Structure formats: structure tokens, C-alpha cells
Amino acid sequence: MQTGYWHLEVLWFALIAVLWIGYFVLEGFDFGVGTLLPFVSKDDADRRVVINTIGPVWDGNEVWLLTAGGATFAAFPGWYATLFSGFYLALFLILVALIVRGVAFEYRGKHDSVRWRRGWDAAIFFGSALPALLWGVAFANMVHGVPIDAKGEYTGTLLTLLNPYALLAGLASLTLFTLHGAIYLSLKTKGELLVRSRTAARWLSVAAALLVFVFLLWTYLNAVSANEKGIVPGVIPLTALGLALAVPFLVRAAKDGLAFTATALSIALITVTIFLNLYPRVLVSSTNPDYSLTIWSTSSTHYTLVVMTIVALLLTPVVLVYQGWTYYVFRHRIGRDDLAPLKSPIDLLSGDHPPGPLPGA
């Protein structure tokens, strides 16, 4: 550690944590909506409504991931290099899933064919569920420890990442994100879709609360056994757990807004818990604790961090205001009666269509 500008490393570690929190909270309900697509919809009209609830925002939510990856590359290139080389296959699967899902959103409504749309529906489901599972696996391994040698190189395989603790974290993230999506649908839909979304949320809320409890307990026991509890104040994971336990009651009381806030805060606080457990490390070595990567050993130069800080201060408020405005504009509930009768983009050429929203899916 070098005095004089050490706080910039700490600052960017915290900012990267904030970016991941934003990504998991916002993209989390996107993943949940995509995962629930085949389960809450009874026909194509329902599926169009479900997809249209996230149609205006899903690509904006993914910007948080791009920014988090770019910030990691620029601020902590050593962390980025080891993480993306060691977790290469898992991250590649996530990337492919996100690409396929994005293509599915854009192309699902391009052809009026049952077979065509069912194929893209399957792509949306797998493209949402797989990243929701694998992000949990990846972050659990970061804090639990992976084999890293004295050169900072990952020496394990894909199977190394699929340990019981990481798989539990993956199931917890998948269930929690799916619950987050079910509650989002409860806020954004009406009619029978609203009823089915609330029913899904009731079942998922119990499973999510149980998995969050087991994951946080296991995380604490791992930290105690390694005598490395980071700098996590006990109130943070306990609050995350308390919020997760409160969601089933909020869902049953049909307090959708409070339930959505509770899942969002629970996701955020669980992510905070992971990053505070890591600090000042960025990747824990299970080979030898001395081989763990830290913010000091993997950071960029002082000049790079200064430039990044100035750019972030100038541009971040603009991005936040724009995204907030997007959510405000598209805040209303939608249902089957809000769908336009168009079946193909070709119909737009005739000028013979009634006003209304386009068939985004």
C-alpha cells in the first residue's frame, strides 16, 4: 500500500461493489421475469405482456454489467485478468446466455409462427435462468476461495467452481432473482397475470427465505473457520435475512411495493456482505492465503484512477437521471387489452393499424 492515494483503491473497490449491486437489483428482476415466462403465461398474449413489462428497461439494466466489467478492467487489471481467465468458461456461458436472450427479445415478434415464438421463448427462459444461477456460483467462489498460485494465476478447472457452497449460492441467487421478478410482475401486470404472479411469489418467497438463511449462515461459518470475517458489521447480513423472511408475509398481504423494496434491499445487502467479506482482497486463494489478490496488488496507476474518478463524477449522475426517467415513463401496469393487434412489422408499412403499443414480443 502506498500512502497519499491509497483511498482511490478503496474508492474504486466500493464503486465496483455499487455497480454490481445496481446490476443485481435491476437485472435481477429481468432474470426473474424471463425465468417465469413459461410458468405465469397461459398463451401467447400473456407472454407478450410479460416480455413487454421489461421491454423498455432490460437493455438499460445490462449497462450496469458492462460498466462493472469495464471499471474492473481499468481500476484493477490484475483482478480482471485472473478472474476472467480462471472463470473463463462460466463467464463465457453467461455471455452467450445474455446474447441469446437479447436476440430473443428483438426477434420473437418478427414472425407470426407458433414454432418460431416458442423457440425464442425457450431462449429467453434459459438466457435468464442460467446467468441468475451462475452469477451466484461465481461470486460465492470469489469469497470462498479458489486455487491461485504465487503468480496470481488460477490453477483449477470448471469443476473446481462447482463446489457445494457455490452451488448453494447459485440456487439462492436463482430463487431470489426469480422471486424479485415475480413481485415485479405483480407491480406491472393486471388481471389473471397479476393473480398468477402473486401466486408464484408466494411459493418462491418461502424457498428464497430458506436459501438466503442457509447461504448467509454457511458464509459466516466459513469466515469463522478461516478466522477471516472481513469487516462485515453483523447488522448487514442480519438485515438482509430479516428482509428475506419478511417477504412471504408482505406478498400474502398483497403489499407488492413493500415486497419489491424488501427483495431489492436483500439482494443489495447480500452483495455488500460478499464485498465486505472480501475486503481488502478481491479474490481469495484457497492454495495459500498469502496468494490472495488484493486491491493493492492488482490496482492500476494513480493517474489512471484519478482520470477514472473524474469521468465517473461527471457521467454517473447523467446515467442515473436518464435511467430513472425511463422507469418513470414506463411505470404503468399493462395487460392483454394494451396489446396492439399487429402480428408482423410488415403491417406497419400499410399504415392500417390502430394506435397503441407495438408488439414488443
What are the extents of the domains in the chain?
6-350
The confidence score (pLDDT) of residue 225 equals 76
ω into 345 cis (within 30 of 0)? no
pLDDT at position 350 over 60:
no
In tens, the pLDDT along 92-138 reads: 999 999 999 999 999 998 888 889 999 999 999 999 999 999 999 99
pLDDT interval class at 157 (50, 70, 90): confident
User: Cβ(198)–Cβ(251) under 8 Å?
Assistant: yes
| pLDDT for the residue numbered 342 | 53
What is residue 343's predicted lDDT score, i.e. its pLDDT? 54
**pTM of the predicted protein model:** 0.90
pLDDT at residue number 228: 67
List the grid coordinates of 234.
453483523
Higher pLDDT, 307 or 353: 307
**pLDDT of res. 6:** 52
- Cα distances from 294 to residues 23, 79, 240, 298, 340, in angstroms, run 23, 8, 26, 6, 54
In this predicted structure, what is the pLDDT of residue 229?
57
pLDDT of residue 66: 92
Statement: residue 236 has pLDDT above 60:
yes
Output the pLDDT for position 281: 92
Q: For all residues of the chain together, what is the average pLDDT?
A: 89
CB neighbour class for 211 (10 Å; exposed up to 12, middle 13-18, buried from 19): buried
pLDDT value of residue 187: 95
Q: Tens of pLDDT along 31-52? A: 999 999 999 999 999 999 999 9
pLDDT band at 5 (very low <50, low <70, confident <90, very high): very low
pLDDT in tens, 272-323: 999 999 998 999 998 988 899 999 999 999 999 999 999 999 988 998 998 8
- Assess whether pLDDT exceeds 60 at residue 197: yes
Q: Could you give the angle at the alpha carbon of 58 between the alpha carbons of 20 and 191, nearest 5°?
A: 120
Tell me how far the alpha carbon of residue 351 is from its chain's centroid: 40
What pLDDT does residue 331 have? 87
- Which pLDDT value is given to residue 353? 45
